[in-house]
Amino acid sequence: MSSSSVSVGSGVSARLLPGAPVADQVLAEVAASVGRLRAAGVTPALATVLVGDDDASAGYIRIKQKQAAALGFASPHVHLAASASQADLRAVVADFNADAGVHGVLVQHPIPGHLDYDRALAELDPDKDVDGMHPVNMGRLALGLPGPLPCTPAGIEALLAFHRVPVSGREVVVLGRGATLGRPLALLLAQKRPTANAAVTVVHTGVADWPRYARRAEILVAAAGVPGIVRPEHVRPGAVVVGGGVRYEGRRLLPDVDESCARVAGAITPRVGGVGPTTVAMLFRNAVRAAQRRAGLG
Ligand SMILES: NC(=O)c1ccc[n+]([C@@H]2O[C@H](COP(=O)([O-])OP(=O)(O)OC[C@H]3O[C@@H](n4cnc5c(N)ncnc54)[C@H](OP(=O)(O)O)[C@@H]3O)[C@@H](O)[C@H]2O)c1
């Protein structure tokens, strides 16, 4: 458990909830699982697909490939030109679907505007969907069936558990109902499990007085993608505040949670290095679990 805290101005200091130690723990478990698979003659493979020449996307792919290699994964990669057609992308996805040696596939988002990402995702084998965003996997999540979990929500559950933030029976308010974060997180934290089991409320633009709900929350999760939308007056004193939503302006990261919330919160994710590192760790957890299932070792 972390004992560091953040103090903004004078007054109360919130305990910090960094993501890095959570990610380290998850990745250590992944590395151990990869080791067992390799000892059993299976090299887990996480394939990546990049379309176009976006620098940031290419950078993310490089980081993931480096991490994959460090963990012992094979990482076949296909780079399609920015002019690639939907049929080109479908063919790459179909090849990876058919390749029994590939256990997970990641199509880096965003892809060029003339292509339909959701279509490509829907064409992916749901069992190889390491983002956990395939419609079948969203359905499994809604039904409580096993399958790859959406990475950011799963990372938030792991972060709260790691820092021993009690969730079961508590009032969680999620600001945002987006498909990546708010909606799947609400489903996840309402599941019957000691690290979840919460009373979850989801608020959005349809709830004009969302601050009234936010102020009730014992755990408040910002998932709106609106910089600075969560301010101290929205936080119940002593509450746990998780900043999931971010917007990028160039390379500058603008979080949903205003830093001054640390004056009121009991615990809070740091401005940088909170939810982000746990998201990446969950991608590898999904990938190794896919390999374990395929090998009958899961
Ligand atoms: N940290 C990470 O690793 C990580 C990973 C993935 C995503 N994210 C971030 O998570 C955020 C959410 O992504 P998403 O794809 O799930 O959601 P999204 O599709 O961007 O939707 C945003 C949600 O926030 C709500 N919202 C926006 N402005 C609001 C306002 N002024 N008042 C109340 N509600 C408001 C919207 O309400 P309506 O539905 O009514 O429009 C919507 O439900 C994004 O900032 C994204 O960058 C972070």
How remote is the CA of residue 202 from the centroid of ligand 1, in Å? 12
Quick check: CB of 181 below 6 Å from ligand 1? Answer: yes
Best residue for ligand 1 mutational test, from 121, 174, 180 (most atoms within 8 Å of Cβ): 180
Output the residue whose Cα is nearest ligand 1's atom 25.
Answer: 176
Cα–ligand 1 centroid distance for 33 (angstroms): 33
Is 226 touching ligand 1 by the criterion CB < 6 Å? yes
Tell me the best of 109, 121, 141, 181 to mutate to test the pocket of ligand 1, counting ligand atoms within 8 Å of each CB and taking the most: 181
Integer-rounded Cα Rg, in Å, for the chain is: 19
What count of Cα atoms within 13 Å lies in the side-chain half-sphere of residue 290?
31
What residue type is assigned to position 110 of the chain? Answer: P
Residue 12, Cβ density class (10 Å: 0-12 exposed, 13-18 middle, ≥19 buried) = middle
Q: How far apart are CA 169 and CA 5, in angstroms?
A: 26
Contact of 50 with 80, CB cutoff 8 Å:
yes
CA of 179 to the centre of ligand 1 (A): 8
- Catalytic site positions: 64, 108, 131
88: CA distance to ligand 1 center in Å?
A: 30
Q: What DSSP designation does 208 have? A: T
Query: Which among 203, 186, 99, 92 has a CA at the least distance from the CA of 138?
Result: 186
The pTM of the full predicted model, rounded to 2 decimals, is: 0.95
Q: Do 230 and 175 touch, CB atoms closer than 8 A?
A: yes
pLDDT in tens, the chain (298 residues): 444 665 555 455 899 999 999 999 999 999 999 999 999 999 999 999 999 998 889 999 999 999 999 999 999 999 999 999 999 999 999 999 999 999 999 999 999 999 999 999 999 999 999 999 999 999 999 999 999 999 999 999 999 999 999 999 999 999 999 999 999 999 999 999 999 999 999 999 999 999 999 999 999 999 999 999 999 999 999 999 999 999 999 889 999 999 999 999 999 999 999 999 999 999 999 999 999 999 998 7
